Structure 1
Amino acid sequence: MKVGLVLGSDSDIPVMKKAFDLFNEFGVECEVLLASAHRTPAEVREFASTAQDRGLSCIIAGAGMAAHLPGVIASYTTLPVIGVPLESGSLKGMDALLAIVQMPSGMPVATMAINGAKNAALFAIQIGAVSDPELAAKYKAYREKMTRQVMEKNDKLQQMLKTSDAVKTKLNNAAGQVLQAFKK
């Protein structure tokens, strides 16, 4: 599987790096482009319109504010496009979220949460796993590992609560004994 990852600005790198890191973890090839829908439209068009020819199976595009990048990319390709609204400006990413989620009919863009680059990568992996059994097995193992981690945290919490309850009981018993001693 090969995925495209497009960043609208170098300020997007810290958030979008989460997707890139996950692709590395899964062994998914990732083609990265830093380009703007407004400042470098020819580069965006070239990247998106030739993406399928280069073997990409989907494209993730992160954008803030007006967030035109995912929609512009979708207009130049029939590949699935996943938009990541990025927190920026005075609206803290709400403007980007609404811009991406409100694509016009016929130009779908899957929309993740604000700064949801990790989920975008996982969604891209799910898309690839449909036709790649090896990737599907890796994704299944990833999910199982997540489940184990949550259950281990729950076990620790339950132990802590039991210990806390035992301590409370001992303290209550001791307090009761002290009160009984004062009553005599």
Structure 2
Amino acid sequence: MIILRHCESEFNRLYTVTGRDPGLSDPPLSTRGRVHAQRLVQELAGEGITRILVSPFTRALETATPLARALNITPEITPLVRERAMYSCDEGSCASTLYESWPHLNFDALEEVWWTAAPESDGMMQNRVQHFRTFMAQQPDAGTTLVVSHWWFLLGLCGESLENGDWQHLSA
């Protein structure tokens, strides 16, 4: 599989400047993040991606959108790969709100309030990581699947800190 940390969000931009949680729930990508998401279309074009699994957070959906369009793939909403609940940005948007913004995506598997209440323990997050590993090990297309997720989840999955918009191949 290919794992991708979402591009820079408004939360990331403001946190970098101030060092404090700016109090933004489910923030969109920053201008820089949107440009980076567009660049990822070229970066990932030759990777043979046939499937995209994406966290339901807006920043992950906005990161996946340009690539999904370019590859003519409908992203699959995958709450298992959501961010660990630690900051204001880890409060999501209700499923009905997400559907209004992305009516072509299927949010039926989400409860109206689908995110984890903060703080999420290490054990809870690692349990999600293990469930995802088990799920991916059973997928015949794991090698051509792109997973668009978040810092804490990807750290648990691969053991490395990925910067916004960083991606890498990972064995399922």
TM-score (norm 1): 0.35
- The structure whose residues are more often helix, as a share, is 1
- The structure whose residues are more often strand, as a share, is 1
TM-score (norm 2): 0.36
Question: Highest relative contact order (Cα 8 Å, sep 6+), 1 or 2?
Answer: 2
